[in-house]
Amino acid sequence: MNMDQPTRIIVAGPRGKMGHEAVQLVHETEHFQLAAAVDSKNNGKKVQDLEGMPSEDVLVYDDMEDCLQAVEADVLVDLTTPEVGKKHLELALDYGVRPVVGTTGFSPEDIDRLRQKAEEKEIGAIIAPNFAVGAVLMMKFSQMAAKYFPDVEIIEMHHDNKLDAPSGTAAKTAALINEVRPHKSQGHPDEKEELEGARGAEVDGLRVHSVRLPGLVAHQEVMFGGSSQTLSIRHDSINRKSFMPGVKLAVENVLRVNTLVYGLENIME
């Protein structure tokens, strides 16, 4: 790949809340070039003909494989839905296009399998459950705190159009915390849920609660409790522009790695 040439990018999900911002980011970034978009409809139209899109004279495909066969691209930015995102990531690897995936809903098994595939193909891939730098710091600070406060509950709060629960960020936070937290079942040993789900989902004894409300964007609070004290670590994305510097960083870095990287923290300086 010639690093002096602009990075040619396919955006999947261009009419979505995140995809729309991503098309705008590619349009505004000098060393990025939009190669095509993959949408669930609008096959054969130009991106610039979709409502609210910048003047990008490139084609929209309604099928990822058709797009990968027709278009020369370096990177796929996927911001679709959990099931679609998994298929797109696999196809991109098959065609030697490096995936940057913000789509959430990947299980640890999915990630292991896809990492193996990326390594077999010797190309980079990045799955980032949260592109906001502040959210990455919130996760890292939570991991630091968990060493000293093993009693912790995660409360993630999102808009009510979100398909997956818990959020990818909450799942990643729980995984990071459980790397350092001694296993512990929280709450009273005789605790009983009078209403199913009242104590949230359980990840190795740690509880995760998902709130869905109109008006919210993306928020997470990690609450720790210790003797006579509590600690809360909170991040709020109040606009989807908060994710775009992370998308840019991931596109730049996916060209330099030959494995699947899970989490923006692994590429942040």
Ligand X SMILES: NC(=O)C1=CN([C@@H]2O[C@H](COP(=O)(O)OP(=O)(O)OC[C@H]3O[C@@H](n4cnc5c(N)ncnc54)[C@H](O)[C@@H]3O)[C@@H](O)[C@H]2O)C=CC1
Number of residues interacting with ligand X: please give it, by CB under 6 A. Answer: 23
**Residue among 8, 19, 68, 219 that touches ligand X (CB under 6 A):** 19
Using a CB cutoff of 8 Å and minimum separation of 24, what contacts does 105-113 make?
Answer: 105/81, 105/163, 105/164, 105/168, 106/82, 106/168, 108/175, 110/86, 111/260, 111/262
Which of ligand X, ligand LZUJQKHR, none has residue 158 at its interface (CB below 5 to 8 Å by kind)? Answer: ligand LZUJQKHR
Q: Which residues are catalytic?
A: 158, 162
Binding site for ligand LZUJQKHR (CB under 6 A): 104, 129-130, 158, 162, 167-169, 218
Is 13 marked as binding a ligand? yes
Is 104 marked as binding a ligand? yes
Is 128 marked as binding a ligand? yes
CB of 6 to ligand LZUJQKHR, least distance (A): 27
Residue 129 sits in the site that holds ligand X (CB under 6 A): yes
Nearest CA among 262, 247, 88, 81 for reference residue 164: 81
Residue 166 sits in the site that holds ligand X (CB under 6 A): no
Distance separating alpha carbons of residues 124 and 82, to the nearest angstrom = 20
Task: Give the sign of the dihedral formed by CA 41, CA 44, CA 45, CA 46.
Answer: positive
Distance separating alpha carbons of residues 98 and 83, to the nearest angstrom = 18
CB of 218 to ligand LZUJQKHR, least distance (A): 3
CB of 120 to ligand LZUJQKHR, least distance (A): 28
Residue 261 sits in the site that holds ligand X (CB under 6 A): no
Residue 76 sits in the site that holds ligand X (CB under 6 A): no
Work out the burial of residue 92: count CB atoms within 10 Å of its CB; fewer than 13 is exposed, 13-18 middle, 19 or more buried: buried
Report the alpha-carbon angle 167-251-72, nearest 5: 120
User: What is the contact surface with ligand X in residues (CB under 6 A)?
Assistant: 12-13, 15-19, 38-40, 79-81, 84, 102-104, 128-131, 161, 243
Residues annotated within the binding site for (S)-2,3,4,5-tetrahydrodipicolinate are 159, 168-169
